[in-house]
Amino acid sequence: MKLVFATSNSNKAAEIARLLPASIEIMTLKDLEVTEDIPETAETLEGNAHLKAQYVTEKFGLPCFADDTGLEISALENRPGVRSARYAGEHRSDEDNMQKVLSELEDKTDRSARFRTVIALHLQEVQLEFEGVVNGEILHKKQGTEGFGYDPIFAPEGLKTSFAEMSMDDKNAISHRGRAIKKLVEFLNQTNT
């Protein structure tokens, strides 16, 4: 089965490809030669995931899934949330985003946070959602060099190590994206048999 993953993020594509069964061949936006950014104008993770999947199914007529992920920090009223990738502004970097979060939490004692991923799957006329959540806390400084995004400052519940200190396989076993993908894979395996 061929499925488009509506992303240009090679880190995300590699992370997800490791979780999918060999019977599912993943194509990305790069494979489709899509160079423009797909607008993410929705106010929710669910809305943005569906916008991206819909773009691909309408333009290419291919089954597609897309994700949107947000870091929700209790002391910041669940910010950055849906704006996680652009939290420090449109021309931001992972480093800028992390520094903004650390700066805003400087005087806060509650550092509880959660990562939430929503995957929208568009197969012909069927549209489904799969959600994965991992609770944890924001560390006081960056730890580790693996992963991407906010991984160096997020420690999953019960651990003092950040996602950036874990191997990709260890992270996938407990991460928000890993949990959402597991639900997606279970569904695809049921429909693929």
Q: Which residues are catalytic?
A: 68
Burial readout 55-85 (b: 16 or more C-beta within 10 A, e: otherwise): bbbeeeeebbbbbbbbbbbebbeebbbbebb
β-pairing, 2-5 with 25-28? parallel
Q: Collapsing DSSP states into helix, strand and coil, what is residue 60? A: helix
d(CA 154, CA 149): 10
Residues 130/65, Cβ–Cβ less than 8 Å: no
d(CA 155, CA 163): 6
Task: Give just the sign of the alpha carbon dihedral 93, 171, 155, 68.
Answer: positive
